[in-house]
Amino acid sequence: MAAALLFSMVFFIIMFSDLECDYINPIDLCNKLNTFVLPEMLAHAFLTLCFLLTGQWISFLVNAPLVGYNVNKILTKNHMYDATEIFRTLSGHKKECFIKLGLYLVSFFYYLYRMILALISGKAGRATVLPLDDCKMNDLDLFGLKMDD
């Protein structure tokens, strides 16, 4: 899912560059992008929720501000791209996309790292392999301790 978010951002940025180079009409652009805005936000919110429920505090805290930002955007009703204003706000949109891209990239590798860590420690401790992102250091230690017992 993190990978999907990553790709969506890359897609957004490519589209914005297209617009700047006049390859695409702002109306088409906004129609296209607007279909992805909400799914992207929902996916991100869902992921964050998972972190919260499974107690992945670090990941949750990293993602929470972005969720808040998105919710705020929806509440003030400017989450959609507006074809009439797009050129005035283009630089802002691009900046936002790059920041999101960076965030997603970092967190993607972090999740990957955590997953591998979980797999390794899971194997080492002969614990059941936990699904992606559902592990936590403390849990692993607990498992480890239990196994030792």
Residues that bind another protein (CB under 8 A): 19-20, 22, 25-27, 82-84, 86-88, 90
DSSP structure class, residue 56: -
CB of 67 to another protein, least distance (A): 24
If the CB atoms of residues 50 and 79 are measured against another protein, the closer one turns out to be 79
- Nearest residue (CB) to another protein, 90 versus 119: 90
Residue with smaller CB distance to another protein, 13 or 90 = 90
In the complex, what is the shortest distance from the CB of residue 43 to another protein, in angstroms, rounded to a whole number?
A: 24
| Contact predicate 101/13, CB 8 Å | yes
* Residue whose C-alpha is closest to residue 83's, from 40, 19, 10, 11: 19
- Quote the least distance from Cβ 27 to another protein, whole Å: 5
Q: Angle, nearest 10°, between helix axes 57-75 and 26-54?
A: 140
Distances in Å between the Cα of 127 and the Cα atoms of 18, 23, 59, 131, 143 are 49, 53, 23, 12, 7
CB nearer to another protein: give 28 or 141. 28
CB of 82 to another protein, least distance (A): 7
